[in-house]
Structures are given as structure tokens and as C-alpha cells.
Amino acid sequence: MKAFDLKAAQGGAKVCTRDGRAVHLLTFGRKSDTHPLVGLVTRVGDEGVDTFKVDGKYYDNGDSRCDLFMAPTTHTAWINIYPTTCGHRFATEEEALRDAGGHTVATIKIEWEQ
């Protein structure tokens, strides 16, 4: 997972905890010297309110399963597989098929997280 980025989070980027739970940040300016971020953290069948430091840490010292990270983003693309190699990445299946020219073994969808 990517380290917590306050500016990206303020811009609406998705955030999660170290252990992968979704977090919806409600405010970035709570009047607290140490934990000004307030968020709804997904729990089993519910949500709970937690506070965080500006660097996304839950505790003042040490790591926690509740520390904030940037949530991974799923990317999708299409590639053409040729008899001896594979082609470039395309944003849509239509683009990949149009570029293939009928010489492919297959056109496949790929997905990855970053």
C-alpha cells in the first residue's frame, strides 16, 4: 500500500487502514493538537469514528493496524497476444482489436492494483 498522502486525501482520494478497512475522512481540521483528522472506519457490519494524526498515524508512537494508507486503485487494460510476443497495453478492448489486424492468438483483459 502507498503511504498516506494528506493532500491526495483532501482531494478525495480513497483511504484505508493498514489492515485494509475503508475509511471516509469527515474533516481535516478538528481542533486537536495531535489528532485533527476524523474519519468513519468500516467495522464488521458498522462504522466507527476514529481520529488520526496529519501523517495518518493512529498512535503517537509506533505502528497500528488503524494507521491510514492510500487505498489501492484497480486499473484495467487490454493486450494482444501474438504467436511470438505480446503487444502494447490498450485502454479498451475495441482499441486492442482494432490494432490487432487479425494476427493475434488472443486479446486479453488485465487488471492490477497500485
Average pLDDT, the chain: 92
How buried is 12 (Cβ within 10 angstroms: 0-12 exposed, 13-18 middle, 19+ buried)?
Answer: exposed
Q: Tell me the per-residue pLDDT of 10-40, one tens digit each, with 9 for 90 and over.
A: 999 999 999 999 999 999 999 988 999 999 9
* Cα–Cα distance for residue pair 12/22, rounded to 1 Å: 13
Same domain flag for 8 and 52: yes
Residue 78: band (very low, low, confident or very high) from pLDDT cuts 50, 70, 90: very high
> Average pLDDT, stretch 102-107?
86
Percent of the residues in the chain that have a pLDDT greater than 70, as a whole number: 100
Same domain flag for 7 and 61: yes
Q: How many domains does the chain have?
A: 2
Same domain flag for 78 and 62: no
Query: Which residue range forms the structural domain that includes residue 35?
Result: 2-70
60: its cell numbers: 503517537
Same domain flag for 23 and 48: yes
Residue 113 has pLDDT above 90, yes or no: no
Q: What number of CA atoms fall less than 13 Å from residue 30's CA on the CB side?
A: 17
Same domain flag for 83 and 48: no
By the 8 A CB rule, do 96 and 80 touch?
yes
